[in-house]
Amino acid sequence: MNPSNPPQTAEYGGDEVSAIVLDPGYSTTRAGFAGEDAPKSLIPSYYGKYNADGQEKLVFGDDVFVTPRPGLSIHNPIGKDGIVEDWDMAEKVWEYSFTSRLTGAKPGNPFHNGLNDIPSEELPTEMEVESEEKPLADSPLLMTEPGWNPAKAREKTIEIAMEKWGTPAFYLARNGVLAAFASGKASALVIDIGASNISITPVHDGMILKRGVQHSPLGGDYISSQIRALFKKNSPQPITITPHYLISSKTAVEAGQEPQAKYKTFPADKAPDASYRALLEERTLSEFKECVVQVWPGPNKLSAAGPNGVPNEESARSSPGRPFEFPDGYNQMFGVDRFRVVESLFDAKAAIPDPESIFPAPTPAQTLPELIKASLGGVDVDIRPHLLGNVVVTGASSLLYGFTDRLSQELMAQFPGPRVRVSAPGNTAERRFGSWIGGSILASLGTFHQMWISKKEYDEHGANIVEKRCK
């Protein structure tokens, strides 16, 4: 190629310029430019709503964690099963995810910035049109979706992208497939441990095997509910989580002693909603998960006996406990209990019962081993060994300490014959953003160029083109 000639459009596909990859999840929404190795923008999918001066105000981004506001309530546009429920708000949250860090806010109309006072009759009309420039007018958009996203939701998604955001090209990819790509595999059994769901997605040659897709609600939020159940039964006294925003100062106390903290009180008309407190409690719980919670690594269940005949619980008990301090200063060692809270992901009987929990007691079919079994049962016998040789673990909740060890133990116990290989990236970011990274790779491939659904095609065929093109 003669370097003094500009490259032809077809050589690199002009539209791959700064494609945006948007990976919305139940707990967080990830967005970034294709080709980069981590999403630049990571925001909670939760948003806050409150009234100030008689106006309803919305809070997006990390601010919901930082600043309590009067009467603030927390909402999530995505339902527990990972499917969007509130489309208007989903659009706003997603839009915030890429405008805040990537594309910037829409440029203000130069005629309205106070500098140019032009009599209204002189306003050129074409400038008006330009001022309504859509936020993604010059960026192709690759979005992800769960494997069980219904056709209606998919059509709605492309509609928003094309009509509200004005993207010139769009593609909708399954997050399971993308997570496989992120691990460099075209065929894999993707185990995604998310916040609201765990899912198993068999991927073969880059195509999702729909009949094998399984999901259940035993995700990170379920583990949180188990931790809460544990706290309720805690001895010597039940533990209540008081988030930081309700505490003005705390004093150091010995382990297990009553907390001594100064609490804040808010007048009833100003106090944030219970949903806000729940969200912030969740923050503390995720710190607890990071620091304390541990998955019994196997072999065998926690309730069973180990290979040398010693009950596993005994071995677990003999390992040193881990201390944890709550925002109000209460602190305690957590011994064998820290294994119990996640055990029900593998063993439904081990669940800590809590009648008040919003999660019903798990059924055996919802546990990971059963899901995997069901998933493999849904795919062709011939490719099962191939899938088992390429098990990909992704999702932030899979970062629970010891999770992958237990998972491989379970898989080996369940499928003794075939060679089982679990690949789980050690890098936290790669585990948390698996499907985003896959999308980043996919959208930056030159060969992906032909896959985009262009605006023209959308105008021609309507929203249901997404069913035909994004399989």
Q: Scan residues 177-236 and list those touching other proteins (CB under 8 A).
A: 182, 184
In angstroms, what CA-CA distances link 144 with 149, 217, 289, 443? 10, 19, 27, 12
Tell how strand 188-193 and strand 247-251 pair up.
Answer: unpaired
CB of 288 to other proteins, least distance (A): 9
Q: Which is nearer to other proteins, 103 or 216 (CB)?
A: 103
Which among 10-18, 209-217, 226-234, 411-419 is the span making contact with other proteins, rule CB under 8 A? 10-18
Could you tell me if 20 and 31 are in contact, meaning their C-beta atoms sit under 8 angstroms apart? yes
**Bond into 299 cis (ω within 30):** yes
What's the token pair of residue 255? 């382990």
Q: Which is nearer to other proteins, 271 or 361 (CB)?
A: 271
Could you tell me if 359 and 195 are in contact, meaning their C-beta atoms sit under 8 angstroms apart? no
Task: List binders of other proteins among 98-137 (CB under 8 A).
Answer: 99-104, 107-108, 110, 113, 115-116
**Three-state secondary structure along 297-356?**
CCCCCCCCECCCCCEHHHHHHHCCCEEEECCCCCEEEECCHHHHHHHCCCCHHHCCCCCC
Q: Which is nearer to other proteins, 331 or 454 (CB)?
A: 331
Is residue 399 close enough to count as binding other proteins by CB under 8 A?
A: yes
CB atoms within 10 A of CB 243: 21
Map tokens 């698996």 to a residue: 434
Q: Which is nearer to other proteins, 17 or 151 (CB)?
A: 17
| Cα 399 to Cα 91: distance, rounded to the nearest angstrom | 29
CB of 384 to other proteins, least distance (A): 26
CB of 361 to other proteins, least distance (A): 27
Is residue 462 close enough to count as binding other proteins by CB under 8 A?
A: no
Q: Which of 228, 250, 277, 340 binds other proteins (CB under 8 A)?
A: 250
Q: Which is nearer to other proteins, 69 or 154 (CB)?
A: 69
Spell out, one character per residue from 265 to 304, where the chain touches other proteins: x when CB under 8 A holds, - when not. Answer: xxx--x-x----------x---x-xxx-xx--x-------
| Cα 400 to Cα 297: distance, rounded to the nearest angstrom | 11
Spell out, one character per residue from 415 to 434, where the chain touches other proteins: x when CB under 8 A holds, - when not. Answer: ----------xxxxxxxx--
CB of 63 to other proteins, least distance (A): 8
CB of 356 to other proteins, least distance (A): 27
Which among 140-148, 161-169, 240-248, 349-357 is the span making contact with other proteins, rule CB under 8 A? 240-248
| Alpha helix (H) residue ranges in 99-174 | 125-131, 151-159
CB of 72 to other proteins, least distance (A): 8
Spell out, one character per residue from 340 to 379, where the chain touches other proteins: x when CB under 8 A holds, - when not. Answer: ----------------------------------------
Interface size with other proteins, residues (CB under 8 A): 103
Q: Which of 152, 211, 262, 349 binds other proteins (CB under 8 A)?
A: 262
For residue 172, give the 3-state DSSP assignment.
strand
List, as one string, the DSSP characters of 358-412.
Answer: SSPPPPGGGSHHHHHHHHHHTS-GGGHHHHHTTEEEESGGGGSBTHHHHHHHHHH
Task: List binders of other proteins among 317-336 (CB under 8 A).
Answer: 318-325, 327, 329, 331, 333
Is residue 400 close enough to count as binding other proteins by CB under 8 A?
A: yes
Which among 155-163, 377-385, 401-409, 454-462 is the span making contact with other proteins, rule CB under 8 A? 401-409
Residue 61 has phi, psi (to 5 degrees) of 80, -170
Question: How many distinct helices (H) and strands (E) make up the chain?
Answer: 17, 19
CB of 415 to other proteins, least distance (A): 20
List, as one string, the DSSP characters of 208-276.
Answer: E-GGG-EEES-SHHHHHHHHHHHHHT-SSS------GGGEEEEE---TTSPPEEEEP---TTTSPPHHH
Which among 11-19, 204-212, 373-381, 385-393 is the span making contact with other proteins, rule CB under 8 A? 11-19
